[in-house]
């Protein structure tokens, strides 16, 4: 969906009509979405600097979280040669982000966060030796909750083999749950949806019952990375879509779509950023150069938004883009 911006950089009208089947779930490919993306503006881009730690990569960040009068970024931290990582917290310090040594690290990858029932809900991916495949890793999503970043307690885990489980508190008090099964159900990775009435119902068994949205072709995959509850009650889903090329290189793109929790219908996806939109930098491996790990979106009052992301599994950055949820959600910052 392409939107027109006036001289004050505020979104006003669509440049073209969206597809006729916008209100229904549809299968879309990376190639189609990239073709539509060609004219999207990026107003500013920069890599983020993290201090207080050396000899490791800091990447796959979440959006900044405002807590007790300060801004923090949760980030994946690990040596380049391993997949065993920790989520550490970095405090805003001028133009840099300094390690917050007062916040305990978590043995997780790829952090995310939201707020439900007045608590911080923070999650990430736990990796462990695969129980049946030698030299392989298994993984699961773990969830923590608490009033403070210094007092987070584990309270739930997703099914083994599932990443990218995301939550959002709906206006009626129920909890939206987006899932990403892989394998016999889900193929290379697709998005599912369900609702629960309380965090106590967030279990591996309940998560596995989510209904699939069927948005990807079998050769590609995607997932939700952050959920925004919009002013009209719909959900702005920030996520990723990915594919392999013929040489086995991975290509990850940041994408977004609107989901209606009442009708359980997803609108069309749109790519909102590619790796080329960020400054160049290092990569964990050559086949990960074209990877944007969608972290989070900080919406601005002027119709723009800062997109925070991991870059090539080695660094982190942010870009200022048109707010992908502005036409539906109205202009305004994310609730923090």
Determine the pLDDT at residue 24: 47
Would you say residue 251 lies in a domain? Answer: yes
Cα–Cα distances in angstroms (integers) from residue 240 to residues 33, 85, 89, 274, in the given order: 12, 21, 23, 10
Would you say residue 8 lies in a domain? Answer: no
Determine the pLDDT at residue 17: 30
Domain count, the chain: 1
Q: Which of 265, 307, 314 is nearest to 289 (CA)?
A: 314
What is the residue range of 271's domain? 16-329
Determine the pLDDT at residue 327: 62
Would you say residue 28 lies in a domain? Answer: yes
**How many residues are recorded in the chain?**
336
Give phi and psi for 200, each to the nearest 5. -65, -20
Would you say residue 129 lies in a domain? Answer: yes
Would you say residue 43 lies in a domain? Answer: yes
CA 238/CA 255 separation, integer angstroms: 6
- What CATH number does the domain containing 75 carry? 2.115.10.20
From first to last of its 336 residues, the chain has per-residue pLDDT tens of: 334 434 444 444 333 233 334 444 578 899 999 999 987 789 999 999 999 999 999 999 999 999 999 999 999 999 999 889 999 999 999 999 999 999 999 999 999 999 999 999 999 999 999 888 888 889 999 999 999 999 999 999 999 999 999 999 999 999 999 999 998 888 999 999 999 999 999 999 999 999 999 899 999 999 999 999 999 999 999 999 999 999 999 999 999 999 999 999 999 999 999 999 999 999 999 999 999 999 999 999 999 999 999 999 999 999 999 999 986 444 344 443
Would you say residue 336 lies in a domain? Answer: no
pTM, 2 dp: 0.90
């Amino acid at each position: 969906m392409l939107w027109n911006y006036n001289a004050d950089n505020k979104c006003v009208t669509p440049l073209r009509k969206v597809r006729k089947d916008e209100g229904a779930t549809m299968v879309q490919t990376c190639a189609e979405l990239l073709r539509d993306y060609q004219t999207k503006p990026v107003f500013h881009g920069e890599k983020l600097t993290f201090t207080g730690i050396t000899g490791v990569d800091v990447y796959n960040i979440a959006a900044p979280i405002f807590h007790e009068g300060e801004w923090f970024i949760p980030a994946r931290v690990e040596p380049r040669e391993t997949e065993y990582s920790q989520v550490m917290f970095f405090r805003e310090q001028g133009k840099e982000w300094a390690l917050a040594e007062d916040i305990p690290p978590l043995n997780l990858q790829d952090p995310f966060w939201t707020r439900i029932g007045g608590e911080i809900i923070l999650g990430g991916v736990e990796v462990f030796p695969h129980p049946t495949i030698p030299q392989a890793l298994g993984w699961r999503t773990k969830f923590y909750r608490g009033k403070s970043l210094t007092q987070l307690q584990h309270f739930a885990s997703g099914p083994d083999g599932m990443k990218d489980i995301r939550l959002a508190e709906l206006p009626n008090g129920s909890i939206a749950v987006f899932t990403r099964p892989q394998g016999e159900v889900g193929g290379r990775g697709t998005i599912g949806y369900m609702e629960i009435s309380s965090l106590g119902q967030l279990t591996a068994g309940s998560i596995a019952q989510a209904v699939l949205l069927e948005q990807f072709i079998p050769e590609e995959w995607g997932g939700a990375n952050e959920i925004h509850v919009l002013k009209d009650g719909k959900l702005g889903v920030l996520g990723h879509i990915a594919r392999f090329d013929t040489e086995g290189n991975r290509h990850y793109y940041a994408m977004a779509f609107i989901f209606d929790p009442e009708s359980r219908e997803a609108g069309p996806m749109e790519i909102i950023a590619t790796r080329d939109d960020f400054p160049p930098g290092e990569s964990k491996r050559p086949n990960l150069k074209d990877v944007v790990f969608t972290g989070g979106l900080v919406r601005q009052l002027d119709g723009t938004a800062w997109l925070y992301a991991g870059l090539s599994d080695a660094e982190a950055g942010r870009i200022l883009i048109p707010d992908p949820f502005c036409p539906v959600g109205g202009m305004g910052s994310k609730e923090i």
